[in-house]
Structure formats: C-alpha cells, structure tokens
Amino acid sequence: MIKTGVAIASDEELQWVLAEASRCLFCVDAPCIGGCPVHIDIPQFIRLIRWKDFKGAKETIKIANFMGSICGYLCPAGELCQKDCVLSKTGSPISIAALQRFACDRADYGSEIKTAAGTKKRVAVVGGGPAGLSCALELRGFGHEVDLFEKEKFLAGTVAQEIPEFKIPQHILKKEIGELDLNQIRIHLGIEVDRNLLEREISKQYDAIFLGVGLSRSKPTDLNRKNLKNVFDASQFLNSIKNGAINQLKGICITIGGGDTAVDCARMALRLGAQRSILAYRRSQKEMPAAKAEVRQALEEGVEILWQVTPFRLAGQKKVEAIEFARTKLVSSAQSGRKRFKEVAGAKLKLPVNVVVFALGKDRDDGLGHFLGDRTKTIDLKTLQVGKTKYFVGGDFFNGGETVVEAIADGQRAARSIDHYIRSG
C-alpha cells in the first residue's frame, strides 16, 4: 500500500499506484463522480496518473476541490466515491483516496483563481475552515469582493486544531494552504465575530454573509467532574496535543463516545504512551457512528472497546482515579427510529483510570445559534439561504458535523447561491 506524506515515491510505491490506476474501467457514466460531494472527475485524474502526468492529475482534482490533498487524507472514501465504484460489485473498488493523495503529494500545483468581471459587491465569510475557505475562493472567482473573518490566528479550522498528525501530517496541511490563491481575498485572523459584531457592523457593510463557523462548544455532560485533573473534552485534549501542552500519557486512558473524534482520541492516547486505551460507548457496535475503517484500525492498534456502558460517577482526590459505569440495554424508539439506551438496574462496572476524555460531540456557538433562532427552520436545503435574508450557512455549523469534503461542498454550493442572490437582486 502507498505510504502517505511523501513527495518522492519509491519504485515499489510508484508501481503500486500505476497498477491500481490501470484497474480503472474509465466508465462513461462514472458513478464514482456522483458519490463525490464535490464531483471530482475521478476517471480523468486516474487516467492522467496512468499516463504518469501527476501534475495534470492534481490540476483535475484541484479544479473541483481547492483542498483536494486534505480530502485525500481525510475523506471516508469507502462510504462515498469508492462505494459507488463499479468494481465494488465484483471485487475491491479502486483505491480512489490513495490515488488522489498520491497525485496531490507528488506534484506541485497552485490553484489560481480565474476571476470574472468585478461586481463591486461585498461578501463577508465568517469562519476560515474548509466551508469558509471554499466559499470565499468560489465567490472571488465570481468577481465579488470577499472578506474572510477567522477567530484563530490560522486557517483550516478543526483540521488544523484537532485532526491528529497520524491522519494528516502537518507539512501536508501547510502545503495545501500555501497552494491556495488567497491573495485576492482580504483575510482577517484573530477576529471573533459574535452576535453584536454581526448585527451592528457586518450585516450593514456587506451585501451577503456566509456563516461557516463550525461547532465551537463541546456538548455538556451531566456527570459531576468535581474539578478533577486529567479530565478533558475531546477538543481540549486534541488541541492540547497539537500545541504541545500534552506530549505524554501514563496509565489508563478512557474515552467516552462513539464517533470518529472519540476514536481519534483513543488512538492518540496509545501513541502518547498510555498503557491501555479504552473506548466506552453506550450503544452497540452496530449503532456506533464512527467509520468502520477507523474502528477496525483502532482495534488493530490495541484500543479496547467497551460496548453498552454509560458513565455515572468519577472518583478521585485531586486527579481522576476511577470511573464507574452502568451497563445499558437498547430499546426501540418510535420517535427517532434509532434505538435508545437504558441503564440496566444493578449492573455496574468500576475501572481505574488516569485520564478521561469526553468525546460527546459539539454544539453551535450560543450567540450565533440564537441569532439564527427560528430562522434555521427556513433554511433552504438546496441554496443554503436562511429564509429570504442575506445570510447563508454551511459546513458543521449547518449540518451538525459531517465530513471535510461535505463542508467544502457546502461552501461551494452557498457561493453559487450567493452569486445568484446578488446578481438577481
């Protein structure tokens, strides 16, 4: 299998890539394109790889997706384009993500914005993550003046803050951002747009506004933490690892949750030296929302998983020392269709622990969430416009936390809608 994060491939890697590309049937209707949220011309870039035109392959990818390299690393391709590959019906699908990753790593290609005639219309993009960046780049291409506001001192949002190094190397992320044509966009870093700034200034100065601020608030837990040390939210834990505040773990780490972020935390714990890393999830393996490939890799690395348990008490003096769980059973739910969990009376489990991480998901920022209020009920799912207003939304702030490529697709779709909105009046 191809190694990731290398600019120059070995002969073995190159032979694997060329052999994999030669398996592609180059379908005329190409169902894999329909499985890609940003509709990359997959057969074309694979054909170019087969011809050893790696720069052309990368250009094909970047035309559809400014952040094609990031997506080559982070896309759940098995659930998107690869699932629709014709070869998946008779055997194994083409390893599309690996080929995309190879082309983007191997070649240098800067995405240059081809700008249409200027409209002199101003658009504010709030949030510098994948959704905001893709929206801003598309809008500039349409000829609008774009100001992008990001509360951090860097771009790429959660990808830069929380995604572990083992999933996407930092130098790959820097290269991707460096290849973006951002010179034609006014970028304001370190500026947090709250409700007051949005209502009093931005809404009056711009012809349209895109909100792609992501999910900034960890979901609360009703578990009393008693201010114990070594108890973290997932975002806090992963961000602390990224910035070097946490560089080593000892003993047992238990992560509470069942999503991809929870799996990331559990895998990182082992990499930082934890003797045991345990993932505790309140439902069964069948209901676990994390990607199957991610769970399989975690198990192969040594992560232990406890199914159908829910925590009810943390114990310790100054630092967390133990965690108590209740066993759960699943019962049908007529409202959601998804089975809900219920504690089993008398079935308890107590485990020693040195570090606890709560990976329960995230919610929208209180201020901007309340600003939208009932208007969220009027969001047009096709255009991403909020009612008949000048506001448009996208990314995790809109969908509650999906994939990076879907956030990028949201940004592109919103940009097209904003362009139509501005031009049509």
Give the model confidence (pLDDT) of 207-227 as tens digits: 999 999 988 888 878 776 668
Same domain, 205 and 246: no
Query: Pick from 106, 133, 160: which residue ends a domain?
Result: 106
User: What is the pTM for the complete model shown?
Assistant: 0.92
Same domain, 241 and 352: yes
**Per the domain annotation, does 115 fall within a domain?**
no
Same domain, 182 and 203: yes
Q: What is the pLDDT of residue 249?
A: 97
Q: What is the pLDDT of residue 201?
A: 96
Same domain, 128 and 160: yes
Same domain, 349 and 395: no
SS (H, E, C) the chain: CCCCCCCCCCHHHHHHHHHHHHCCCCCCCCHHHHHCCCCCCHHHHHHHHHCCCHHHHHHHHHHHCCCHHHHHHHCCHHHCCHHHCHHHHCCCCCCHHHHHHHHHHHCCCCECCCCCCCCCCEEEEECCCHHHHHHHHHHHHCCCEEEEEECCCCCCCHHHHCCCCCCCCHHHHHHHHHHECCCCCEEEECCCCCHHHHHHHHHHHCCEEEECCCCCEECCCCCCCCCCECEEEHHHHHHHHHCCCCCCCCCEEEEECCCHHHHHHHHHHHHCCCCEEEEEECCCHHHCCCCHHHHHHHHHHCCEEEECEEEEEEEECCEEEEEEEEEEEEECCCCCCCCEEEEEEEEEEEEECCEEEECCCEECCHHHHHHHHHHHHHECCCCCEECCCCEEECCHHHHCCCCHHHHHHHHHHHHHHHHHHHHHC
**Per the domain annotation, does 46 fall within a domain?**
yes
Q: What is the pLDDT of residue 97?
A: 97
Q: What is the pLDDT of residue 366?
A: 65
Same domain, 146 and 208: yes
Q: What is the CATH number of the domain that holds 195?
A: 3.50.50.60
Same domain, 222 and 347: yes
**Per the domain annotation, does 371 fall within a domain?**
yes
Domains: count for the chain: 3
Same domain, 337 and 405: no
**Per the domain annotation, does 63 fall within a domain?**
yes
Q: What is the pLDDT of residue 333?
A: 72
Same domain, 341 and 222: yes
> At which residue do the structure tokens 């052999």 appear?
19
Q: What is the pLDDT of residue 373?
A: 66
Same domain, 247 and 207: no
**Per the domain annotation, does 302 fall within a domain?**
yes
Mean pLDDT by runs of 10 across the 425 residues of the chain is: 46 94 96 97 98 96 94 94 94 96 89 85 97 97 97 94 94 94 96 92 97 86 80 95 95 96 97 98 92 93 96 93 93 71 85 96 77 73 93 90 94 98 91
Q: What is the extent of the structural domain holding 22?
A: 11-106
Q: What is the pLDDT of residue 380?
A: 92
**Per the domain annotation, does 3 fall within a domain?**
no
**Per the domain annotation, does 116 fall within a domain?**
no
Same domain, 222 and 354: yes
Query: Pick from 40, 74, 106: which residue ends a domain?
Result: 106
Q: What is the pLDDT of residue 374?
A: 63
Q: What is the pLDDT of residue 298?
A: 97
Q: What is the pLDDT of residue 421?
A: 97
Q: What is the CATH number of the domain that holds 81?
A: 1.10.1060.10
Q: What is the pLDDT of residue 176?
A: 94
Q: What is the pLDDT of residue 5?
A: 38
Same domain, 194 and 223: no
